[in-house]
Amino acid sequence: MERFSVIVSGFDRYESVDVNPSREVPEALESQGLKLGSNSETNPTSDVDDDVSFDCEIHIHSVMLPVSFTNAWPTLKAAIDRYHPDIVIATGLKHAARGIALERCATNLMDAARPDADNVKPRKIAIVEEGPAAYWTRLPLRSILEDFSTHNIPATLSSDAGTYVCNSLFYHLLNWTSHQQKVLSGFVSFPLVNEHGGNLYGLPLKQQIAAGRDVVKETLRYYREPATRDVVIV
């Protein structure tokens, strides 16, 4: 039986954010798994995905990172060296978002308007000297969006992850991935947790966990059977 190792990273603390989805979602995915297989006949209210069954072992590892330009990537890299993942999905938080943001591009730029957790505020500095100006995500965005639509999860494509720690981590991750034979990686931004709905920013936590599960599931599907139709960049 095939075995797959998946890392889903998040950030351990955001200032003034009581419930951090980029911590809660990875930890939920590690503890709950993908919940694949059909049981809709015996339990119609179950959140098990009844349209997918993978004949393989899937091990999800959640990794929490500091909001630090200096330490976020080394912490994730240490986890990569430990778990030897086939898929790495980094996650972060976008305060002014009404749904899940699938990040398309990581740019080679640090330009912080506020200090990070180490009180560091780089301005207009390259992340990797003489590195490419940008990298494109390795995630199958089209199939992820289609899965979101099926499960009524609001989502959008985002041009980039900004110029703060999220983007810096994303760039380092894709820079590393570019030298690997077969690893898929990308970045997903979650909105604030909003359990009340309405026109406010954010989504309920359960819906965000379901979104995280869809991202892992569709990326694993694409890893096993790559298809051009699954990928969308622009």
pLDDT in tens, 148-182: 999 999 999 999 889 999 999 999 999 999 999 99
Q: Which of 200, 7, 193 is nearest to 91 (CA)?
A: 7
Supply the pLDDT for residue 38: 45
Residue 28 belongs to some domain of the structure: yes
Determine, yes or no, domain membership for 72: yes
Residue 198 in any domain: the answer is yes
Q: Is residue 105 annotated as part of the catalytic site, yes or no?
A: no
Number of domains in the chain: 1
| Domain-embedded: residue 60 | yes
Distance from C-alpha of 140 to C-alpha of 142, rounded to nearest angstrom: 6
With 80 as the cut, is the pLDDT of residue 109 above it?
yes
Q: Is residue 44 part of a domain?
A: no
- Choose among 159, 163, 125: nearest CA to 141: 159
Asked if the structure places residue 43 within a domain, the reply is no
Cα torsion 134, 140, 146, 147: sign: negative
pLDDT computed for residue 46 by the predictor: 46
Of the candidates 133, 150, 163, the one whose C-alpha atom is nearest the C-alpha of residue 210 is 150
CATH assignment at residue 125: 3.40.630.20
Task: Report the b/e string of 157-172 with b at 16+ CB within 10 A.
Answer: bbebbbbbbbbbbbbb
pLDDT per residue as tens digits for the range 174-206 = 999 999 999 999 999 999 999 986 667 899 999
Does residue 48 lie within any of the structural domains? no
**49 within domain boundaries:** no
Catalytic residue among 166, 188, 193, 215: 166
Angle at 113 between CA 110 and CA 115, to 5 degrees: 85
Domain span at 16: 3-34+55-224
Q: What is the pLDDT of residues 135-148, one digit of tens each?
A: 999 999 999 999 99
